Amino acid sequence: MLPEPIATEPNPVCYLCGQPGAVLYPRLTDRLFGAPGEWTLKRCPSPSCGLVWLDPRPTAADIGKAYQTYYTHDHAGHRQLTRMARIARGLLHPLSVILLGLRQERRRYKRIYLDQTLPGRLLEAGCGNGKRLARMQKSGWLVAGQEVDPLAADHVRQKYGIAVHLGPLETIDAAEPYDAIIMSHVIEHVHDPLAMLQTCHRLLKKDGVIVLLTPNTASYGHRTFAADWRGLEPPRHLHLFNSTTLTQLAGKAGFGGVQTWTTPVGAYGIGQSSRSAAELADTAQLNTGRITVRDVLRGFRFQVAASLRFRFDKNSGEECVLIAKKIS
């Protein structure tokens, strides 16, 4: 049975500066989860911008069709490692972290860069499988989550006993504001990222902080893999950012003290899946089968290359990180 087509709407101009977009990659398909359709990514030609976006994009009413086989809860959608691949990764991972000097960065990444912030009330927008919330709870934070996927919300409640608001972020009551709001790989999925950040601003206490992570279009991986880069993920990723565009977005939303940088910590997974995308044309193949020793080795080769590149180009990390404060 063929999947139901996804209704689209035109989206020809840059969300941030209004310039008409130039085609970056035409006729892309979803080689991860098999959502129907061919998709075009455009890039803003302005040197002071560079936002990347889908045109046309799925309508808000039909975007759910792009997630019918997508995972947001547990790891049901992830490929499993073979026994030898698990052993190889278990040996190579700690070794690479030490040799590449990533131990401190990885610790900060795991705590979503709130490791030097006094714990308080924390909300994770798009909390997924809840692992990050559980980790932050162990660090002393009073945590809650938000999800639009009922399966993901139930999973977090049942597995961790953490309260999760089911519904859009804007439906959360601001009567008890938060000290911190975090989101990891969420902002690229929404039709109106400025409205999302404005909602976060409303939900924060004065001097509260927002931390978000999102794919970096200026990354070494994007330059290496181009249309096969894992961070593109059409048609679910509607807007893709770099440090410049992320800073602009936070400023428009009313945040101050904006800091952005990039990190190479996640390069292993990006390299592994991007290389697979470059080799396989069948949509179903990328998210089926098992991860082999060969997959693990090429993931670590890319981690090494990306980490070395990062030493000379601090904007080349696979993810952008933003921290900003509600100052009024």
0.85 cut: is pTM over it?
A: yes
Task: Please state which CATH class domain 78-221+241-325 belongs to.
Answer: alpha beta
Angle between helices 83-99 and 103-110 (to 10 degrees): 110
How many CA within 13 A on the CB side of residue 169?
24
Structure tokens at 231: 């961070």
The pLDDT tens digits along the chain (328 residues) read 667 899 999 999 999 999 999 999 999 999 888 899 999 999 999 999 999 999 999 999 999 999 987 866 554 446 788 889 899 889 988 888 898 999 999 999 999 999 999 999 999 999 999 999 999 999 999 999 999 999 999 999 999 999 999 999 999 988 899 999 999 999 999 999 999 999 999 999 999 999 999 999 999 999 999 999 999 999 999 999 999 999 999 999 999 999 999 999 999 999 998 988 887 655 444 566 688 898 899 999 999 999 999 999 999 999 999 999 999 8
Domain ranges for the chain: 78-221+241-325
Q: Where are the alpha helices (DSSP H) in the chain?
A: 83-99, 103-110, 131-138, 150-160, 193-203, 220-225, 243-252, 267-279, 293-312
